[in-house]
Amino acid sequence: MEQHRKIFASKATALATVALMREVCHNTTATPGNPFNLATCAEHPDLIPAVARMGAAQACLESAYGTSKAATHHRNVLGIKPSSPSHSHVDVIRIFTSIEQCFESWAYLVARSTHYTKVRNALEEDLGAADLTFEETMGAFEEAFANIYCPADADYANKISILSAEITDALAPPAKTKPTTSPAARRKVNQAARRAPKKEARK
C-alpha cells in the first residue's frame, strides 16, 4: 500500500508539473498580477515544483491515492466540479477522458481561472516581498487557494500542506552517506596501501 501511494504521488507530481508548464508557456509574457509566466518562473525556479507538489497533494487527498470512484470511473483525481451544467458529470463530479486532462483542468484553475485572480495577485506580490521567505509565500498561497477550492473544509489547507511535505520527503533522492573518516585519515590509509606491495617485494 505504501509503495502504491509513492507511485501515485510521483505520477501526480509529474503530471501537475507538465500541466503547469503548459500554462506557463501559454502565458509567455509577464501579465500584471499573474506569476505563472515564463519570466516570473525563470526568476523563481522553485515555484512550479512547489505548486506541482500542492496539486499532487490535492490529488492524493481528493482521490484517496487514485482509489476513489471518481478517480477509477471518471479519471477525476482532483474533485473538480463542472464549470457549467453543460459539462458531463455524475453527482456534480466532472468526467475526464484521462488523468492528464484532469490535471490540465486543474492547472488552468491555478494559472488562468478568474476564480483565483486575487490569489495569483497576492502570490505575485508576496514573491516580490523582501520580508517573506519562499516557504512563507507558498504557505500563504496554498491557504488562499484551498479556501476557494474547498471552502467546506476549514482544515483543507493544512491537510494539503502536510501531504505536500510528505511528497517532498518521499520523492527526495537518497542522501549520500558521508565518509566516517577524515580526509587526512583516508590519505594515510591510501598511502599505506600503496606502500604495502613494495614491502612484500623486498621480502
Adjacent-strand bridge partners of 94: 89
C-alpha cell at 192: 599505506
- The three-state secondary structure class of 89 is strand
The pLDDT tens digits for 2-47 are: 889 999 999 999 999 999 999 999 988 778 889 999 999 999 999 9
Whether residue 85 has pLDDT greater than 90: no
The pLDDT tens digits for 89-136 are: 445 789 999 999 999 999 999 999 999 999 999 999 999 999 999 999
171 by Cβ neighbours in 10 Å (0-12 / 13-18 / 19+) ranks as: middle
Question: Model confidence at 199, in pLDDT bands (50, 70, 90)?
Answer: very low
Dihedral sign, Cα of residue 135, residue 137, residue 141, residue 147: positive
Write down the pLDDT at residue 95.
94
What is the C-alpha to C-alpha distance for residues 16 and 104, in angstroms, rounded to an integer?
A: 8
pTM for this prediction = 0.81
- The three-state secondary structure class of 80 is coil
Residue pair 120/35 in contact by the 8 Å Cβ criterion:
yes
Whether residue 84 has pLDDT greater than 70: no
Q: For the chain, which domains are there? A: 2-176 (1.10.530.10)
Residue 35 DSSP class: -
Write down the pLDDT at residue 202.
45
Whether residue 153 has pLDDT greater than 90: yes
Write down the pLDDT at residue 159.
96
The pLDDT tens digits for 170-194 are: 887 776 655 555 556 556 556 665 6
Residue 83 DSSP class: S
Write down the pLDDT at residue 186.
58
